[in-house]
Chains A and B, each alone.
Chain A
């Protein structure tokens, strides 16, 4: 390839992907840069128009937020992400495989019904779970407990049970997407691979391990990676179920974002809150550097 042709090739590539990258630059990258800029200022309710650059002072102050409460929130978040991702992937894989059983005629109906949680705005679903299922006075769970002659419970009041309840709701919200991605990926596997494997007498486990998983991995990787980050920075589920103002339930389970919200964002000190956002972001970057991204070989 000549030099000229190579340059043309590069230009062409960026030209074609330009609009997409431009949008990303505006909506994804710019807010990060802007937040970083604000984090260097003293912008707050008291200096809303007349804020000035104060350097790294906010970062220095932010270090005080990283106390034991923050550390336990960080640990809880890591645990939360791991538990949610593992369960989510396993269940999605099993359900998607079952949905692909050849003679299952009602598959379209099942799939559509299973997508329902995804079709509702998140806050609506969370509200339904909170008031309809977990509410200690009227919730379905406690009505069931009563029907079974068991003691009723305050489901969202302790850390462990709140963690479990939040996980259930998060899975409920996230599984439809994951099932859909898995389902699509499973269908893309060339049937002839299985045929030859069956001829060779490979067991289901062996087929799953040597054909299915390697084949779907590159396809689901992007979705999985993005879901890992979404789970890590989950706010709505935990906040709306257990922490919402005027409706606290007594649990103290925090993800780093709900923790940062309660300990920084409520102050309306934008400089300070921005510094905390940036630090959380750097933490996430550090995590992803430490645990090599699963899908990186697909790059």
Chain B
């Protein structure tokens, strides 16, 4: 009787077929696909590239007919999807204690309200990069004031000492953290240290004045790649194109803010695999097998080298190829100071609030206090309106 009832259910679950959505570059997807095909030949695993992945997930939820079984994305949307009720805890799907082999920062990032919702694969942070043609190794600024002096001395017509996406929330976070502030606290309070944020904005403003009036990626990227900017703060994704453009690329630790003695601490993003609840309930074995396969340090290394990002698994760093990679090493040491992006749902609206605040202060030249109060009000009302 129970059997017939189950058979009459609308969905027949094919346990051996696993669909994984991702929005990664082809190199990463290929590494994953071939590794999984080899490791789990009995499963039919498909990696499907999905543009606007998060918007699509907000639409399909975990409806088995249109949603994937798993997806690969940065950890910052975990809160949203966990609250929606479509994410499964991965701890139960993994062998006991498996997660202890991961860097603490990555598992912390993957945890929302005490539950781990993501198996970390690799992580990325922003890095201080410079063009050795103009900024030699001994000229690399240790502090922000040194950076400012360098900018003043080297910014003129058609050339910039330093560029970054200055009015973008993701980039400005490094400055705010350097002053001991936060965009949002772990329990969802916007700008818990108002004065730190205001100080950071005020201080940062003089740097902005020596940077181009555009804040988007392509301008900053092009300036650096064309050798028109001596240094920049950028992600690992810039590295391949910089090498291609023949730039003698140097990577240095983040400068320290003179006033606070703290380094600019960028956000870090942990990329990893998430499991949807429907798949966890109905295809538990297959999903578990995929997760276990992805725990292997071997795939961690391959992925890290393919993406230029740092592996999330600690023992990957024992591997010679990984350990000797300058980029990976730089990311790993930046990870010591980096702050994982908040993964609470409230952060979703803070991106908008923060970018409005930065636009007002940096691009429209409005008063810091006044703009901050406005942003605070906006943050509070948007967060209230989420519920």
Contacts and interface: CB of A to CB of B under 8 A. Distances in A.
Whether A and B touch (Cβ < 8 Å) is answered with yes
Contacts of B223: 137
Contact of A269 (B61, B351, B387): B387
Given A44-B386, A245-B351, A248-B355, A64 B217 contact: no
Interface string A116-137: 0000000000000001000111
B258 interface: no
Interface residues of A, number: 30
Interface string B325-365: 00000000000000000000100110110011011001110
A49 B18 CA distance: 24
A103 B167 CA distance: 55
A195 interface: no
B385 A272 contact: yes
B245 to A, nearest CB: 16
B34 interface: no
A14 interface: no
B259 interface: no
Interface residues of B, number: 40
Main secondary structure of the interface of A (DSSP, over half): loop
B231 interface: no
Nearest to B218: A131
Contact of A44 (B169, B215, B381, B387): B387
B283 to A, nearest CB: 20
B209 to A, nearest CB: 13
Contacts of B218: 131
Contacts of A267: 348-349, 382, 385-386
A111 B385 CA distance: 49
Interface in B293-349: 345, 348-349
Nearest to A244: B216
Contacts of A131: 218-219
Contact of B215 (A48, A247, A268): A247
Contact of B359 (A136, A138, A154, A248): A248
B95 interface: no
A46 B386 contact: yes
Interface string B356-379: 101100111000000000000010
Given A46-B386, A250-B363, A268-B80, A136 B213 contact: yes
A4 to B, nearest CB: 47
B180 interface: no
B369 to A, nearest CB: 18
Interface of B: 58, 61, 80, 83-86, 165, 167-170, 212-219, 222-223, 345, 348-349, 351-352, 355-356, 358-359, 362-364, 378, 381-382, 385-387
A-B CB proximity, top 3 nearest: A250-B363, A247-B216, A48-B84
10 contacts: A44-B386, A45-B80, A157-B213, A157-B363, A244-B216, A245-B351, A245-B355, A248-B167, A267-B349, A268-B80
Interface of A: 44-46, 48-49, 61, 64, 131, 135-138, 154, 157, 244-250, 252, 262-264, 266-269, 272
